[in-house]
Structure 1
Amino acid sequence: MTCSEWADENFYLSAESAYIEGRWETAPFQVAILNSMGNDEIRVVNLIKSARVGYSQMLKAATGYQLQHKKRNGMILQPTDSAASSFMKAHVETAIRDVPVLKELAPWFGKKHRDNTLEAKKFSNQRQLWCLGGTAAKNYREKSLDFIIYDELAAFPEDVEKEGAPTFLGDKRLEGSAFPKSIRGSTPKIKGHCQIERAAQESETDFLMFVPCPHCGEYQSLKWGGKDAPFGIKWAENNPRDVWYLCEHNGCVIRQHELTPHFAKAQWRCHKTGITTVDGYEFLLNGQVSETPESVTWNIWTAYSPFTTWERIARDFLNTRDDQGKLKTFVNTTLGETWDDETGEKLEWENLYARRETYLPTIPEWAVYIAGSVDTQDDRLEIKIKAYGPGEESWLIGYKRLIGDPAGELIWQKLTEYVDQSFQHASGAKMSVGLICIDSGGHYTDEVYAWCRQDPMRRIPIKGASVYGKPVANFPRKRNRKGVYLTEVGTDNAKDIIYSRLAMQAKDLTKPIKGYMHLPMVEWADELYFKGLTAERKKLSFVKGRRVYRWECPSGVRNEPTDLEVYNLAAVRIAQQHFGLDLDRARPEGRKNQSTKKRKSVHQSSWL
């Protein structure tokens, strides 16, 4: 008897632990999952799930199957001891009461007895079930188990009292069993820090459920999609009652009641190996019977569940759009996916501060161009000056905070003096600042324009693009009505480039390194500067139902050095794309023993 067959014949949904009391009937999407929990050839079962898929009931059914039908010892681990006690009372004890074949094994039920405690139940067939918390290392010791279940694994500590990962400690208890079984299931949490995600990555399989379209017959796994995607869950604007699924193959409009009967024809497909299965017992590869995998991972989310509606999913999403916390819950518990809070490695300011170099006061010999940037604040202007070489390798050579009122003339005079200064090149030549991009989106747009009009081919006012995905710099063909070349800057693309470059490592600074950003060991490149340079994080948001990653700065943190880095990159891109600058016109193999004459030849043109 398979696990799903046992459940259909014996299992019962208790009033205290189910929305609707009554006999259990395995839903089509649950068959393969339940059977894998009872299949002796499968050692590890991972389930990455959303809410509303009947996971707790499947765990209890699998536990009853192992105890009564397979006559095996087991343990259910909950994230905490209190959660374990609650689960024992609300789920395990009610199941023993309401499932006759289990109650027959519990002559002590309803009585005070040494075989009937909140931590363990010992049955008349000499099999035992523990239910304990996963935070205490002692709970993993001195137990001989055939199966172990980790409920909500993502909520477990990564290291249990410094003795190791919970799945490592728990699975060690299975080593003496002839048919060991480790079942791990959870709603996922934070990407990169989620233990069910880690368990799935270690698995040899990763199954998604494919369902035939009721109109064209093409198989597809159900996806969220979102408003602008050419497939997925859709709804009439401002009317989530009118909701449907758009087929990704032929654009068929599928209503939920139309798709439900076709779940009986569904297949589970593994993209890693090409293996398929329908029931979790027979596995096929290229239409031929395949060996049963030792480890399986199932992915299931709310759209497959008959216990909720697509209308409810749409409403849940609409209720989360303006709240990051609710959106995170939606991704985890409705879509059954990890929340990508930050992408890439976190860039620590201390690491950048520690790799500063001693190249100032002269500009390194490889630099051929200088660009400037200005940020306008209510009480100051901040300026950054950078030198660039082949491959946009760059050297920070100046940073200044001018305190004053941007509505007055004095601060603009000081700005002009600062950006008009000359810099000493290693070749002996003098270099001046080329293009300067200045933020015009604040409260002092008129003052910014007035300063730019004094030298319109060199001083470029900029504004951030309102749409994500724009080019780093979109220089206009002509001046606007204010007499300036107002340039749109794709800040998200620019920050992607900047943060990836800041994360670069250099083994040999005597050779060219494309895109590498050199940082000077000087007083003004202080801790405040580096904290501002690493202030932002890339976070997941939803825009019109579509996932997008956006750079965000925590509240109260100054990020002017990051903004200025964007403006500098925009300036050097404008110079290359519209003013004929060629950073790559000289590429010697090394930076040493270059003649003075040759170094002078790469100096930026006099038109700057």
Structure 2
Amino acid sequence: IRDIPSLLALAPWYGKKHRDNTLTMKRFSNGRGFWCLGGKAAKNYREKSVDVAGYDELAAFDEDIEQEGSPTFLGDKRIEGSVWPKSIRGSTPKVRGTCQIERAASESPHFMRFHVACPHCGEEQYLKFGDKETPFGLKWTPDDPSSVFYLCEHNACVIRQQELDFTDARYICEKTGIWTRDGILWFSSSGEEIEPPDSVTFHIWTAYSPFTTWVQIVKDWMKTKGDTGKRKTFVNTTLGETWEAKIGERPDAEVMAERKEHYSAPVPDRVAYLTAGIDSQLDRYEMRVWGWGPGEESWLIDRQIIMGRHDDEQTLLRVDEAINKTYTRRNGAEMSVSRICWDTGGIDPTIVYERSKKHGLFRVIPIKGASVYGKP
């Protein structure tokens, strides 16, 4: 009220003790009113007729309000008589499957995410936290939050927080493709202006906030290591996602060790072909060599972790050595790795391209992984 001139003009009682200015009710000079009530008491859902019902932190509401039913059903009954009824539901999410804001969001046919253009290639995307397996999202050197940057999911461009420009950013529905910049004018996926939809869900998280930094997000993430409670809070309050507890336990290490087969040579007799994959990180490369036999039976032959800056020539020379390493069969024959896929995600892809040319394009193949299961 204080900061909106049009509202302040309707509130002659502002800053004074007045019967129209209480903790739970504000009545304006144009006859309109604003109620601010607790969401857990059934009596607060009765007798009032309003145009807008707002639910702040809906996920924290009881699912059954004093045995009278759903809070949103009870509250939305208060707007049935309005010419222009509106139900607004906002919240930090909680546990997946039981979260009321998750349920409310699923009722809308439109799920809008805030897309911003990459300052380098111009491709639009919504910001994602990602993880060490995804080839996009927030990336940083281990134990150095200040090194954080965003890796563009389209062309692996390195984006700093201060480079993002939200001037032409827009909310795009991931289901239908409709979009809006201001919530007033709406457009179809082809750019034609359309009528505003009856119901929409908007999602946004801390990476867009002008009140925090990506450095702080990384620091908060690092604090959650080994602490399920902190990790849950981070997922809910920073990422704005529901928390899903992991079910099941890891197999006992000793039981797994008992299943191990022993071979008299680095390469088992049934292996006919060797392939490898190289994962790229800012501070290391990880390579795994696999042997393949009849029926696509496979064996892990070797695993190497090559520490060092990803763009340092000495590090890359050690990767060259790993690529050219040979492996011995029981009969003394040497086998080299015939095909290697080298991940270009997370680093400057030209490094991999140049190394591929050096070793042969059909032997060392640059690839870019996908975060979707089954996608090549």
Using structure 2 for the length normalisation, give the TM-score. 0.66
Match of 1:130 in 2: 35
Question: 3-state SS of the aligned residue for 1:311?
Answer: helix
Distance 1:137 1:440 in 2: 53
Match of residue 317 from structure 2: none
Q: Which residue of 1 aligns with 2:8?
A: 103
Deviation string 1:79-101 (CA, Å, 9 cap, x unpaired) is xxxxxxxxxxxxxxxxx345443
SS in 1 for 2:138: strand
Work out the CA distance in 1 between the residues paired with 2:252 and 2:82.
68
AA aligned to 2:7 is L
From the superposition, tell whether residues 102 and 227 of structure 1 become closer, same or farther in structure 2 (CA, over 3 Å): same
Alpha carbons 1:204, 1:293 under 8 Å: kept: no
Alignment pair present for 1:318 and 2:222: yes
Distance 1:251 1:176, change over 3 A: same
TM-superposed CA distance for 1:207, in Å, is 0.5
- Aligned-residue offset at 1:272: 1.5
Tell me how far 1:477 sits from its aligned partner: 5.8
Q: Please tell me the residue identity of whatever aligns with 1:325.
A: G
User: After superposition, where does 1:140-539 map in structure 2 within 5 Å?
Assistant: 140-259=45-164, 261=165, 263-285=166-188, 286-342=190-246, 441=254, 462-463=255-256, 476=261, 478=263
Question: In 1, Cα distance between the equivalents of 2:22 and 2:113?
Answer: 39
SS in 1 for 2:76: helix
> In 1, distance between residues paired with 2:2 and 2:174?
42
Distance 1:102 1:220 in 2: 37
| Per-residue CA distance 1:236-272 (angstroms, 9 max, x = gap) | 222111110011111111111112x2x1121211121
**Offset at 1:229?**
1.8
Query: What number of residue pairs does the alignment pair up?
Result: 264
Mark the CA change 1:99 to 1:288 in structure 2 (over 3 Å): closer, same or farther: closer
1:479 Cα deviation after fit? 8.6
Q: Tell me, in whole angstroms, the C-alpha distance in 1 between the residues paired with 2:119 and 2:172.
A: 19
**What is aligned with 1:469?**
none
Cα distance in 2 for partners of 1:253, 1:108 equals: 53
Structure 2 unaligned blocks of 5 or more: 266-280, 282-296, 298-376
Matched residue, 1:68 = none
Q: Which amino acid aligns with 2:226?
A: D
More helix by proportion, 1 or 2? 1
CA distance in 2 between counterparts of 1:307 and 1:171 reads: 33
The answer for the alignment partner of 1:114 in structure 2 is 19
Over 3 Å counting, the alpha-carbon distance change for 1:110 and 1:153 in structure 2 is same
Q: 1:464 to 1:200 in 2, by over 3 A?
A: farther
Is this contact kept in 2: 1:244–1:254, CA < 8 A? yes
Change (3 A) 1:439 1:328: closer
- How far residue 275 of structure 1 moved from its aligned partner, in angstroms, is 1.1
Aligned residue number for residue 394 of structure 1: none
Deviation at 1:144, TM superposition (A): 0.7
Once the two structures are TM-superposed, the CA of residue 478 in structure 1 deviates from its matched residue by 4.5
- What SS does the corresponding residue of 2:202 show, helix, strand or coil? strand
Aligned Cα RMSD in Å?
2.5
- TM-score w.r.t. length of structure 1: 0.41
Cα separation, partners in 2 of 1:281 and 1:321, compared to 1, 3 Å: same
Matches of 2:48 and 2:193, distance apart in 1: 37
Instruction: Look up the SS of the partner of 2:62 in the other structure.
Output: coil
CA distance in 1, matches of 2:224, 2:153: 25
Structure 2: how far apart are the matches of 1:258 and 1:108?
Answer: 44
Give the SS at the match of 2:135.
Answer: coil
Q: Deviations over 1:178-202 (max 9, x none)?
A: 0001111011111011111000000
- Where relative contact order (Cα < 8 A, 6+ residues apart) is larger, the structure is 1
Q: How many angstroms apart in 1 are the aligned matches of 2:211 and 2:15? A: 32
Contact 1:120-1:131 within 8 A present in 2 as well = yes
The sequence identity of aligned pairs, in percent, is 60
**Partner Cα distance (1:273, 1:316) in 2:** 34
Moved over 6 A (4+): none
How far does residue 306 in structure 1 lie from its aligned partner after superposition?
1.8
Name the amino acid aligned to 2:64: D
> Do the aligned partners of residues 440 and 188 (structure 1) sit closer, same or farther apart at CA in structure 2, a change above 3 Å counting?
closer
Give the greater-gyration-radius structure (CA).
Answer: 1
State the alpha-carbon separation in 1 of the partners of residues 43 and 20 from structure 2: 20
